[in-house]
Amino acid sequence: MRFIQTLCILALSLLLAACGGDDDASPATSSVAASTTIDKVAQSNGFNALLAAAVKAELSTTLADPSQRLTVFAPTDAAFTQLASRLGFDSATAMVQALPATTLKNILSYHVLQGGKQAADLSAPASSSQPTLYSFGGQPATLAVAASGSSLRLTDAVQTSATVTTPNVAASNGVIHVIDKVLVPPGVLNAVQMARANPELSSLVAALTAANLQNTLSGAGPFTVFAPTNAAFAQAPAGLSTQQLTTVLTYHVLGSQVLAAQIPFGTPVQTLSGQSIAIASGTPPTIVDTTATPARITATDIRASNGVIHLIDKVLIPAL
């Protein structure tokens, strides 16, 4: 009889263990998360800045809609704070309060894909272009997705990358992938804000501020900005007066929007400085200034709300 009791206890223990599951299971695999909409999952995981922006942008109802099937790249609160600091706001809360609802809606829509795509879906093939719910120029704006091993990286319109830190957080109406950076879409922020959003352009932003040109390039435009990277500024002449710095910076700006496909190769183009540059075709194209060393155009068509930015690897030097 004692032997039969022991068997019953052992069987009951095994049954309870099978039903109980793993105590360390993440929200991504829990049945609770899988039966809860994206907004509730985000709330329970502490995405306060994302949800505040969604409420102001009137997107919270979309995230709560059980009939939807969405993939959301969810920036952490720290990611929102980082962008806020780069754009000159005291906090993520201040940024959400200051930016227009339309701007927030466009930014957040750039974080959403139609359909529920797991990390494995986004990793095959290893690189892809994923259409988002944000439309620019009459077409869905895309994110470049690249997989390396178990890591997923997303490249946005300002040429910066976010890493998926926690994939496959389940929701009843889709899936959340946690990312460490707010993705910046094309055509939403002005040229100065776009430069601020890319840490590789911090020297340019500092120079614009020193020359008091930030308000000019935040205006209606349209402008074309040939933006030297930090590495380019590190090799530039130092000790310029404010007037000389202004001439140098305006030598990088055209008073119209010129996309890569519209560049008039071989034809002198007047800049806002009043002096002209010439752009030579090639791979990559190069810009000829007053020196013997041309600047290479390393990235093109970074679209701002008031024009376009092309990255270059050298500070252009006009006649001073």
**DSSP characters for 15-62?**
HHHHHH--TT--TTT-HHHHTS-HHHHHHHTT-HHHHHHHHHTT-HHH
Helix ranges, 110-251 (H) = 119-123, 191-197, 202-210, 214-217, 230-234, 242-250
For domain 191-312, is the CATH number 2.30.180.10?
A: yes
Q: Tens digits of per-residue pLDDT, 283-319?
A: 999 999 999 999 999 999 999 999 999 999 999 999 9
At 212, list the tokens.
Answer: 């008091």
Q: How confident is the model at residue 124 (pLDDT cuts 50, 70, 90)?
A: confident
Q: Tens digits of per-residue pLDDT, 137-196?
A: 999 999 999 998 788 999 999 999 999 999 999 999 999 999 999 999 999 999 999 999
Specify whether the CB–CB gap between 295 and 268 falls below 8 A.
no
Specify whether the CB–CB gap between 50 and 95 falls below 8 A.
no
What does pLDDT average to over the chain? 90
Per-residue model confidence (pLDDT) at position 126: 86
Q: How confident is the model at residue 34 (pLDDT cuts 50, 70, 90)?
A: low
233, 249, 255, 315 from 274: Cα distances, Å: 22, 12, 11, 17
* pLDDT at residue 30 is higher than 90: no
Burial state string for 98-114 with b = 16 or more CB within 10 A and e = fewer than 16 = ebeeebbbbbbbbbbbe
Q: Tens digits of per-residue pLDDT, 35-68?
A: 699 999 999 999 999 999 999 999 999 999 999 9
Domain with CATH 2.30.180.10 in the chain: 26-179, 191-312
Q: What percent of the chain has pLDDT over 90?
A: 86
CA nearest to 145, candidates 177, 191, 107, 175: 177
Specify whether the CB–CB gap between 164 and 179 falls below 8 A.
yes
Model pTM? 0.86
The pLDDT of 256-269, averaged and rounded, is: 96
Strand partners, 302: 309
Amino acid sitting at position 293: T
Amino acid sitting at position 272: L
User: Which fold, 26-179?
Assistant: FAS1 domain (2.30.180)
Bridge-based pairing of strands 223-228 and 307-312 is: parallel
Cα separation, 152 vs 100, in Å, equals 31
Per-residue model confidence (pLDDT) at position 150: 80
Q: Tens digits of per-residue pLDDT, 92-115?
A: 999 999 999 999 999 999 999 999
